[in-house]
Each structure stands twice: as structure tokens, then as C-alpha cells.
């Protein structure tokens, strides 16, 4: 079943953050990830306005999304962001209606 990465980010150091974003598309592709939205216009309807960038990435399955996140390549790329270049929230959600 299809799954999605939903990320909200605040960029603190654009130069260091770009080292992360330059690497990520190739890594996503290896795990079947496809960017649906990345940094476009947005409107916060509810909740805190802590983030300025929103990203939605589609994966073939929850397992593929988790494998991408746990991969050595992604961990290496994320180190640039995690080193203080940005603040990020990331969740993976499987498609479908779990209440049905």
C-alpha cells in the first residue's frame, strides 16, 4: 500500500541545508520515492507556524519509506540538516482509510 513522507522544515543555514537537499532526490529514487510537493506555497490552517517548508513524498509502501529513512545514504545526507542547518518534523503515513 502506498505511503507518504510528510515533512515540515525550518531552514536555519541555507548553505548547509542545500548539502542535504542536493543528495536526497537520488536517494529517494532508489527506494521508489517520488516528490509530490517540495517547498511550494502553503497556508497553515491550524497549529503553530513553526515551519516554512513542506514536503510530501510518495513511496510504494510504508516499508520502502522506512528503508529509505534508515538507509546509510539518507542518514549521511540528513547529518547536514541535523547538524544545525535546519529543524525538521517527519512522519510516514500509509494511504487508505484505517477507520473503515
**What is the tens place of the pLDDT at every residue in 24-72?**
999 999 999 999 999 889 999 998 888 999 999 999 999 999 999 999 9
Helix (H) or strand (E) holding 29: helix 14-30
Q: What is the CATH number that goes with domain 3-94?
A: 3.30.70.100
Confidence band for 21, pLDDT divided at 50, 70 and 90: very high
Which set of grid coordinates corresponds to residue 21?
A: 537537499
Q: Decide: helix, strand or coil at residue 58.
A: strand
Domain boundaries, the chain: 3-94
Q: Check residue 48 and give its pLDDT.
A: 86
Number of CB atoms found within 10 A of residue 36's CB: 11
Q: What percent of the chain has pLDDT over 70?
A: 99
Q: Check residue 63 and give its pLDDT.
A: 97
Contact in structure between 5 and 74 (CB atoms under 8 Å): no
Amino acid at each position: 500500500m502506498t505511503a507518504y513522507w510528510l515533512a515540515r522544515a525550518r531552514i536555519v543555514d541555507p548553505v548547509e541545508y542545500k548539502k542535504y537537499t542536493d543528495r536526497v532526490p537520488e536517494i529517494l529514487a532508489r527506494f521508489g520515492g517520488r516528490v509530490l510537493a517540495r517547498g511550494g506555497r502553503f497556508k497553515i490552517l491550524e497549529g503553530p507556524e513553526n515551519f516554512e517548508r513542506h514536503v510530501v513524498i510518495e513511496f510504494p509502501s510504508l516499508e520502502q519509506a522506512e528503508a529509505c529513512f534508515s538507509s546509510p545514504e539518507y542518514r549521511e545526507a540528513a547529518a547536514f540538516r541535523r547538524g544545525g542547518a535546519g529543524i525538521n518534523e517527519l512522519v510516514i503515513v500509509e494511504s487508505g482509510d484505517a477507520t473503515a
